[in-house]
Amino acid sequence: MPELTYLQAISDGLRTEMRADERVFLMGEDIGVFGGAFKVTDGFVAEFGEQRVMDTPLAESAIVGTAVGAAVVGMRPVCEMQFADFISCGFDQLVNVAGKMHYRQGLAVPITVRLPSGGGFSGGPFHSQNPEAWFMHAPGLKVVAPSTPEDAKGLLIGAIRDPNPVVYLEHKNLYRRVRGEVPEGSYATGFDARVARAGDDLTVIAYGAMVHVALEATAPELLDGAAVEVIDLRSLVPLDEAAILASVKKTSKVVVLDEANATCAAGAQVAALIAERGFEDLDGPVVRIAAPDVPIPFSPPLEQAVLPGVERVKEACRDLLAY
């Protein structure tokens, strides 16, 4: 299998589906001739033409609204927001139109909304958010967040093929930093969790870029040989409750790791699930690690202080193992 970066895997997934299905087309700001803000769609216009790689005005509501209309008549649009933060300008079309159309009218809305999310690159408060919880709270939307190149491609293909609107969170700090083997050709990854590393002593539950933080922080040599299981959620809606509860039952101690700010974050939903349905299996409190409820700073040292890091996760695991 070829080794690709996270960004290349996303690009490969788009190309794969566009070659296989003429209904798939792309919409977004500067995705055409310029190749996208992060060059995910570089070269796409030359292969697929301007009718299928559409540069749009700076109008996120119009992008999502147009995609909804195209999806209702049988197309499979993929919308790119330059940064996840900008989806707030298209919130009504995504949450109140796309998310509710099947409930109101029985219509499928197979749109995929790509959201480059997350911090770690000094982008500041308007370019670094993790807005996944907004959409977890909106019935009718699916929400996925890959952590590896293999899943970045497979989850994207799965999202494009899904009859529901899917919010696809791609972490900017993984684009060129993470590499891995990616199967060639077409494959769709299921919207379920995976065990990133098996263990018996403690569970860390994470998604997106925080999976890599969890794996680094819980290496056995850092925790006196403790075997820590790392669960990569991959999908936030639907949430793989069975996988979460099975790991809790196995290890009896849980750390929930989330890059988003803590209040009402995805990790809060995971912690609530464990408290409600896994309480009898616990040998200690459910520990949550998340960002504080502040905008992400521009300053690199301040950003690193806000975002959860390896040392913070390692110390939380040490404390819980000793509980």
**Residues assigned a catalytic role:** 127
**DSSP codes joined into one string, 91-140:** HIIIIIIITTHHHHH------EEEEEE--SS---TTS----HHHHHTSTT
Q: Is the peptide bond before 238 cis (omega within 30 degrees of 0)?
A: yes
Distance CA 274, CA 112 (A): 30
**DSSP codes joined into one string, 1-21:** --EEEHHHHHHHHHHHHHHH-
Distance CA 110, CA 113 (A): 10
Distance CA 49, CA 260 (A): 37
Cβ distance 1 to 181 under 8 Å? yes
Give every CB contact of residue 205 below 8 A, 6+ residues apart in sequence. Answer: 231, 233, 244, 247, 254, 255, 256, 257, 267, 270
